[in-house]
Amino acid sequence: MSNTTITAITMPKWGLSMVEGKVIEWLVEENADVAVGDEILDIETEKIANTFEALDGGVLRRKVAEADQTLPIGALLGVLAEPDTADADIDAFIEDFQASYVPPEIVEGEEAAISYEWADIDDYKIRYLRMGEGDRNIVLVHGFGGDLDRWLFTQGPLSASANVYALDLPGHGQSTKTVGDGSVAAMASIVTKFMDHIGVEHAHLIGHSLGGAVAIQTAIADPDKVDALSLIATAGIGTEINGTYINGFVEAESRREIKPLLQQLVGDPSLINRNLIDDILKYKRLDGVTEALRTIASEFLDGDRQTVDLRHHLASVSIPVRVIWGSADQIIPAGHADNLPDNVSVKVIEGFGHLVHVEAASEVNKLLQG
Amino acid sequence: MARKILYQDAINEALDQEMARDDSIIVMGEDVVGGTGANGEMDAWGGVLGVTKGLYGKYGDRIMDSPISESALVGAAVGAAATGMRPVCELMFIDFMGVCFDQIYNQAAKFRYMFGGKAKTPVVIRTMYGAGFRAAAQHSQCLYNIFTHVPGLKVVMPSSPYDAKGLLIQAIRDDDPVIFCEHKALYATEGDVPEESYAIPFGEANIVREGDDVTIVALGRMVRFAAKAADTLAADGIDCEIIDPRTTSPLDEDTILESVENTGRLVVVDEANPRCSMATDIASLVAQKGFGYLQAPIEMVTAPHTPVPFSGALEDLYIPSPEKIESAVRKTADYGN
């Protein structure tokens, strides 16, 4: 009996705070061939629902977890093997796995145990999270109204081969809720000073949406600090933007107001679950947040137009620049990825929305690591 | 950032942060300083349960012990509010409302209306309610429905530390009289609360748990009981949606109706006596505006129509329990089968 061809599919750990996940449904049938990267399961976490892609290939010989079952990370979901592996061997594998599986201990207040760090920069307290070890440095810059947790599906995978830092911009997440003049240039200078603070001389900047504009501006202002730019559904390289979404997000006070807005961020609206909405409302209720967001929005928005256009700078930077977009983006049109200079590599991913790095995490992560 | 603190500490933190922000906020009540007449600030115990502990040392005379006269203390608070202060006064037990009800329902609640919108009365009346403490019929009641009945009052019932802080801050900043109802059994419960100040808008229900089978609307302490029942029921494949209105006035009707539109079944859980209560109010709301959604009769889980018994055995039976909620949910889920 050889177990070498039998592989366990286990509950993934998406982000530091995930301790368990709920199986929504299987996307493949038993005895189907599964290749690495195939979508096999929909899983819902405390934060958001997502599709789980196969990490190994083989024939799905057994579904162990059922729809609606909630299981801790690492728990057995299914078994991959060769078509000719005996059923008895599969049974034995499952039995061995279950006998030796110990669910991770759930510590009360697990989230508080995440080692966020704080940087004093100018008058701001900036929260950040560092993951990974490596020669290369990556800094993740979230978008308008977001925070470092929006990199839930990005930071872990990238940290396998790099130092990855994610920060909360001023006015966002748990950083200070004032923003000065709220300009892209002011936020870019915070990113520069943040890098100085953590002792990172140069880094690959990955920015989403407004964070993309901040990353470009950082590269313009301090070219020596930026090794490469990866811009996901970025602001700042075209004029159109969904101003109704932005202003709606700023002014929304209730779940019923904000839910339909957040659903515009994704190709599949069912991804926006109660916990994500609660987290965003909890952020928006904090003193100073509405004013901070208003200030930022008034700086980069004029109705349905962006006022900051850095597109012409992209041709003149001498570093690798990558642009990633979801084709179904309802906030900033994917058309902004067209006709970029030759030194910019472009990938538009079909069917996904503005949060393409969350919805199509593994595909985006592969591009970011490429 | 968020960390776990007690419900009573969340209330203390809300008072502290708001008093630091706004000099016009004062706190008054029976024993809110505590130890008055004893020696020094060390004796400032901060109320019978220590909810206001530490505030006297920080804010001195802005924390005032009152005589044991609810009519005087609530009347003074209402008057102070009408003349520019933002008092947070404490009516130690909601059961004592009888002696100061004129000041509340016929004065505070009427000023804005009767003075053509030119007067405001930003007073908060914090008060303890609820059974379970062997405190007998005069210190255990749930009278929030009586305040809810009065136009001009806002009525708040936080069920968690997060809600307690955010709703109290909103109550203090609100320009109308707010009755802030704290369940005795919740003071020692713990939950995530941000260190920063935040305000939760009134009239915004919290969806505590999502589910497609049965809607449970629960208030105050009953939210926790409903969550316990829902855990048991989920194991049997019955998914409950739990809605905590957070404020009974204003009431977030839309969230309740939308949920019942999805589930078709409603259980209302209210620790108060059943007649003319929040349970009947919410049931009538859904019967009138959501009749077409209903697939089963509305169930209500409440205390019986009797005073709270002093006998421990009887008091335990008196309070709606997770088991009673569970059985009401099963009854509505099984209806027609």
The CATH number covering residue B251 comes to 3.40.50.920
CA dist B225 → B190, B298, B301, B323 (Å): 15, 19, 11, 9
Chain A closest CA to B196's CA: distance in Å?
7
Q: By 3-state DSSP, what share of chain B in percent is helix, strand and coil, each rounded to 5?
A: 40, 20, 40
Sign of the C-alpha dihedral, residues B26, B31, B32, B38?
positive
Q: Which of A151, A174, A172, A164 is nearest to A14 (CA)?
A: A151
Q: Which residues of B are catalytic?
A: 139
pLDDT over threshold 60, residue A79 = yes
**Confidence at residue B37, expressed as pLDDT on a 0 to 100 scale:** 54
Which 3-state string (H, E, C) describes chain A? CCCCCCEEEECCCCCCCCCEEEEEEECCCCCCEECCCCEEEEEECCCCEEEEECCCCEEEEEECCCCCCEEECCCEEEEEECCCCCHHHHHHHHHHHHHHCCCCCCCCCHHHHCCCEEEEECCEEEEEEEECCCCCEEEEECCCCCCHHHHCCCHHHHCCCCEEEEECCCCCCCCCCCCCCCCHHHHHHHHHHHHHHHCCCCEEEEEECHHHHHHHHHHHHCHHHEEEEEEECCCCCCCECCHHHHHHHHHCCCHHHHHHHHHCCCCCHHHCCHHHHHHHHHHHHECCHHHHHHHHHHHHEECCEECCCCHHHHCCCCCCEEEEEECCCCCCCHHHHCCCCCCEEEEEECCCCCCHHHHCHHHHHHHHHC
* Residue that finishes a domain, picked among B134, B165, B194: B194
The torsion angle over the Cα atoms of residues A211, A212, A217 and A222, rounded to 10 degrees, is 90
For residue A100, name the pLDDT band (cuts at 50, 70, 90): confident
**Confidence at residue A309, expressed as pLDDT on a 0 to 100 scale:** 92
Same domain, residue pair B109 and B29: yes
SS3 B213: coil
> Is B204 close to A253, i.e. CB distance below 8 A?
yes
> Is A287 close to B199, i.e. CB distance below 8 A?
yes
Which of B160, B198, B209, B252 has the highest number of chain A CBs within 10 A, making it the mutation to test binding with A? B198
> Is A112 close to B3, i.e. CB distance below 8 A?
yes
Same domain, residue pair B246 and B110: no
Same domain, residue pair B36 and B134: yes
**Confidence at residue A103, expressed as pLDDT on a 0 to 100 scale:** 80
Q: What percent of chain B has pLDDT over 70?
A: 97
SS3 B218: strand
Tens digit of pLDDT for each residue in B67-122? 999 999 999 999 999 999 999 999 999 999 999 999 999 999 999 999 999 999 99
Q: When comparing pLDDT for B284 and A69, which is higher?
A: B284
Structural domains present in chain A: 7-100 (2.40.50.100), 116-369 (3.40.50.1820)
**Does residue B124 belong to any structural domain of this protein?**
yes
**Confidence at residue A140, expressed as pLDDT on a 0 to 100 scale:** 98
Same domain, residue pair B172 and B149: yes
Range of the domain at B73: 2-194
CA dist A322 → A141, A159, A319, A365 (Å): 15, 19, 10, 12
**Confidence at residue A3, expressed as pLDDT on a 0 to 100 scale:** 47
For residue A318, name the pLDDT band (cuts at 50, 70, 90): confident
Any CB–CB contact under 8 A between B199 and chain A? Answer: yes
- Average pLDDT for residues A296-319, to the nearest whole number? 92
Residue A185, φ and ψ in degrees, nearest 5: -65, -40
Which of A177, A276, A285 has the highest number of chain B CBs within 10 A, making it the mutation to test binding with B? A285
Domain count, chain B: 2
* Residue that finishes a domain, picked among B194, B220, B237: B194
Same domain, residue pair B210 and B190: no
Q: Which of B5, B46, B1, B2 is nearest to B161 (CA)?
A: B5
**Confidence at residue A112, expressed as pLDDT on a 0 to 100 scale:** 44
How far apart, in whole angstroms, are the C-alpha atoms of residue B78 and residue B122? 8
Q: Which of A18, A64, A68, A85 is nearest to A45 (CA)?
A: A18
> Is A273 close to B210, i.e. CB distance below 8 A?
yes
Query: What is the DSSP pairing of strand B25-29 with strand B86-93?
Result: parallel
Same domain, residue pair B188 and B301: no
> Is B1 close to A253, i.e. CB distance below 8 A?
no
Residue B108, φ and ψ in degrees, nearest 5: -50, -45
| Residue at token pair 């449970």 | B216
Beta bridge partners of B93: B128
Residues of A with CB under 8 A from a CB of B: 108-109, 111-112, 116, 127, 174, 177, 253-256, 273-274, 282, 285-287
The 10 Å Cβ neighbour count of residue A339 is: 10
Same domain, residue pair B185 and B219: no
Same domain, residue pair B253 and B314: yes
Note whether B32 and B70 are within 8 A (CB). Answer: no
Same domain, residue pair B30 and B167: yes
Which two structure tokens, joined as six digits, stand for A57? 């290939």
Same domain, residue pair B225 and B156: no
How far apart, in whole angstroms, are the C-alpha atoms of residue B80 and residue A34? 72
The CATH number for B99's domain is 3.40.50.970
Tens digit of pLDDT for each residue in A179-225? 999 999 999 999 999 999 999 999 999 999 999 999 999 999 999 99
Q: Closest to B210 (Cβ–Cβ): which among A256, A274, A285?
A: A274
**Does residue B174 belong to any structural domain of this protein?**
yes
Q: Which amino acid is at B114?
A: M
- Average pLDDT for residues B166-173, to the nearest whole number? 98
Tens digit of pLDDT for each residue in A128-173? 999 998 889 999 999 999 999 999 899 988 998 899 999 999 999 9
Taking CB atoms and an 8 Å cut-off, how many pairs form between chains A and B?
42
Q: Which amino acid is at A57?
A: G
Q: Which amino acid is at A106?
A: I
| Residue at token pair 């390289």 | A237
Same domain, residue pair B23 and B68: yes
**Does residue B126 belong to any structural domain of this protein?**
yes
Note whether B144 and B94 are within 8 A (CB). Answer: yes
Helical spans, DSSP H, in B33-160: 55-59, 70-82, 101, 111-114, 144-148
**Does residue B9 belong to any structural domain of this protein?**
yes
**Does residue B38 belong to any structural domain of this protein?**
yes
Any CB–CB contact under 8 A between B200 and chain A? Answer: yes
Which two structure tokens, joined as six digits, stand for B95? 């059961």
| CB neighbour list of residue A70: distance below 8 Å, 6 or more residues apart | A20, A21, A22, A23
Chain A residues touching residue B194 (CB < 8 angstroms): 282, 286
Same domain, residue pair B59 and B14: yes
- Average pLDDT for residues A52-56, to the nearest whole number? 84
Q: For chain B, how long is the longest CA-to-CA vector?
A: 69
Chain A closest CA to B1's CA: distance in Å?
6
* Residue that finishes a domain, picked among B194, B216, B244: B194
pLDDT over threshold 60, residue A111 = no
Tens digit of pLDDT for each residue in A223-257? 999 999 999 999 999 999 999 999 999 999 999 99
Tens digit of pLDDT for each residue in B223-234? 999 999 999 999
For residue A370, name the pLDDT band (cuts at 50, 70, 90): confident
**Does residue B200 belong to any structural domain of this protein?**
no
**Does residue B201 belong to any structural domain of this protein?**
no
| CB neighbour list of residue A140: distance below 8 Å, 6 or more residues apart | A148, A151, A154, A155, A164, A165, A166, A167, A206, A207, A211
**Does residue B219 belong to any structural domain of this protein?**
yes
**Confidence at residue A301, expressed as pLDDT on a 0 to 100 scale:** 93
pTM above 0.90, yes or no: no
Chain B closest CA to A222's CA: distance in Å?
31
